[in-house]
């Protein structure tokens, strides 16, 4: 679904939405997948040379998976509840993800000069929860007291500010100045407790992601021949 409203001579608003639900009615395996999205954008023309905009965007999805841990029995019976796949070894997990973005910006033109300024904030969160029939569904190294019902949420945040100034030097030649600032943070349980490349008997070849802030300045010359 998508709709656009003209709110006045200078203002318009656009909305779009989507929802999808796939239910597989499966006792084991992929049970269902649900996803949705929502987008809203507002534009306001202050005058012939100036435009202001703002937007919000959401995307989310959730799915559930269930299975039975192999009991290791010698049998050709593949049925759920049989010797190979007893119901005591059954487990289930749900995975949900939510992504939110919000931003605004301004653009202005003055003769041979044009200016753009924009800001975007993004936050993404992932949740993983699980349940099991009893301890037989777990690997032997895990105890009931330490397993719980899920992993800590993964949270990603990003701030982005970007501005550009363009100067039309003459026909076919333009100069553009760019400034960009980005700040990012990631809280991911996969990397908790990792302080070096060697942990126990395992070697981690990839670097552990770290929060960061970065500034970028650029100068661009465009020539059209």
Tens of pLDDT, residue by residue over 16-61, are 999 999 999 888 899 999 999 999 999 999 888 999 999 999 999 9
pLDDT of residue 85: 86
Closest CA to 53 of 40, 66, 62, 64: 40
Whole-angstrom Cα Rg for the chain: 26
pTM, to two decimals: 0.82
CA 49, 51, 52 angle in degrees (round to 5)?
150
Cβ–Cβ under 8 Å, residues 108 and 100: no
User: How many contiguous H segments (helices) and E segments (strands) does the chain have?
Assistant: 1, 11
What's the rounded Cα separation, in Å, for the pair 39 and 11?
A: 17
What H or E segment, with its residue span, contains residue 198?
A: strand 198-199
89-148 per-position pLDDT tens digit: 899 999 999 999 999 999 999 989 999 999 999 999 999 999 888 877 777 656 666 677
């Amino acid at each position: 679904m998508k709709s656009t409203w003209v709110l006045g001579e200078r203002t318009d608003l656009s909305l779009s939405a989507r929802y999808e639900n796939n239910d597989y009615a499966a006792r084991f395996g992929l049970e269902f997948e649900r996803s949705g999205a929502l987008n809203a954008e507002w534009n306001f023309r202050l005058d012939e040379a100036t435009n202001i905009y703002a937007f919000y965007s959401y995307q989310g999805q959730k799915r559930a998976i269930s299975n039975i841990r192999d009991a290791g029995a010698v049998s050709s019976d593949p049925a759920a509840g049989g010797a190979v796949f007893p119901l005591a070894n059954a487990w289930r997990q749900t995975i949900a993800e939510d992504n939110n973005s919000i931003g605004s910006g301004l653009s202005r033109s003055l003769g041979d000069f044009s200016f753009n300024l924009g800001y975007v904030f993004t936050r993404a969160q992932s949740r993983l929860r699980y349940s099991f029939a009893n301890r037989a569904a777990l690997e032997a190294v895990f105890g009931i007291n330490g397993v719980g019902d899920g992993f800590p949420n993964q949270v990603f945040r990003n701030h982005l500010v970007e501005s550009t100034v363009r100067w039309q030097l003459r026909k076919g030649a333009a100069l553009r100045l760019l400034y960009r600032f980005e700040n990012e943070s990631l809280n991911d349980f996969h990397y908790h407790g990792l302080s070096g490349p060697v942990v126990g008997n395992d070697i981690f070849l990839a670097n552990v992601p770290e929060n960061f802030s970065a500034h970028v300045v650029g100068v661009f010359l465009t020539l059209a021949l």
